[in-house]
């Protein structure tokens, strides 16, 4: 019979096409084997627990990656949609005194435990001043977000957006999830559809 040499049966390396998926399409035999392996049911409780653990870790990895990159497919329900994306971008594009709340509280805590009376009074004065700035900042965020939302999304349900904006602005920028996608001072696009 006719025999093929090894060089004839091997597929040549093909450079990936721009915009392609970056890998060769699997053969029918490979695809069926992969489907059979995925459909294989674990037989023992230990195997089931291991499979569930693996699926949970894969799911949480996807969610963490999406929170970093801004991929809305894996966001929680509270973060999805163009309205919430606009609120996040609006808060992230401005400087907020609420971000300084935690560092200011730590500083006043240190000053209040110092033995010097003048330092304690300075810490107390700083704390009250910070609270006044925070109240003004919360009011500003609330009114500006509501005004922009009613202008940009007149037909949308805006319930909970004010609290979403305030709670996001209370976090320090590097701790916010989903991660900020805009820099401070950046002009926001007019449409978020």
- What is the per-residue pLDDT across 41-55, written as a single tens digit (0 to 9) for each? 778 899 889 889 999
Q: Can you read off the two tokens belonging to residue 70?
A: 């801004």
Q: Outline where 41-153 has alpha helix (H).
A: 45-69, 82-92, 101-112, 117-152
Mean pLDDT of the chain: 85
- Range in 10-19, 64-73, 95-104, 166-175 with the lowest mean pLDDT: 10-19
Report the number of distinct structural domains present in the chain. 1
pLDDT confidence of 15, banded at 50, 70, 90? low
Q: Can you read off the two tokens belonging to residue 33?
A: 């084997």
The rounded distance, in Å, linking the Cα atoms of 99 and 7 is: 64
Interior CA angle at 91 toward 90 and 97, to 5°? 140
Buried b (16+ CB within 10 A) or exposed e, 58-74: eeeeebeebbeeeeeeb
Res 179: pLDDT: 92
* Residue 110, domain member (yes or no): yes
pLDDT in tens, 95-123: 888 778 888 888 888 888 888 888 888 88
* Residue 180, domain member (yes or no): no
* Residue 47, domain member (yes or no): no
* Residue 87, domain member (yes or no): yes
Interior CA angle at 80 toward 57 and 153, to 5°? 175
- DSSP structural state of residue 159: T
DSSP per-residue codes, 163-191? HHHHHHHTS-GGG-SSPP-S-TTPPPPS-
* Residue 118, domain member (yes or no): yes
* Residue 141, domain member (yes or no): yes
- Domain of 117? 81-175
- What end-to-end distance do the CA atoms of the chain give, in Å? 64
* Residue 133, domain member (yes or no): yes
Res 6: pLDDT: 53
* Residue 44, domain member (yes or no): no
Whether the predicted pLDDT of 12 surpasses 60:
no
């Amino acid at each position: 019979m006719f025999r093929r040499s090894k060089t004839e049966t091997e597929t040549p390396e093909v450079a990936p096409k721009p915009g392609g998926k970056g890998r060769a399409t699997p053969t029918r035999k490979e695809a069926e084997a992969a489907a059979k392996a995925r459909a294989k049911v674990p037989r023992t409780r230990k195997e089931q627990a291991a499979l569930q653990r693996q699926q949970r870790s894969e799911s949480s990895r996807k969610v963490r990656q999406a929170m970093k990159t801004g991929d809305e497919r894996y966001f929680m329900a509270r973060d999805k949609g163009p309205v919430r994306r606009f609120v996040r971008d609006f808060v992230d594009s401005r400087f907020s005194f609420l971000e300084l709340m935690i560092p200011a509280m730590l500083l006043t805590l240190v000053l209040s435990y110092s033995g010097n009376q003048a330092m304690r009074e300075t810490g107390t004065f700083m704390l009250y001043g910070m609270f006044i700035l925070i109240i003004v900042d919360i009011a500003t965020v609330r009114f500006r977000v509501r005004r922009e939302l009613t202008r940009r999304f007149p037909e949308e349900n805006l319930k909970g957006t004010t609290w979403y904006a305030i709670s996001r602005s209370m976090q320090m920028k590097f701790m916010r999830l989903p991660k900020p996608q805009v820099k401070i001072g950046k002009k926001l696009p007019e449409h978020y559809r």
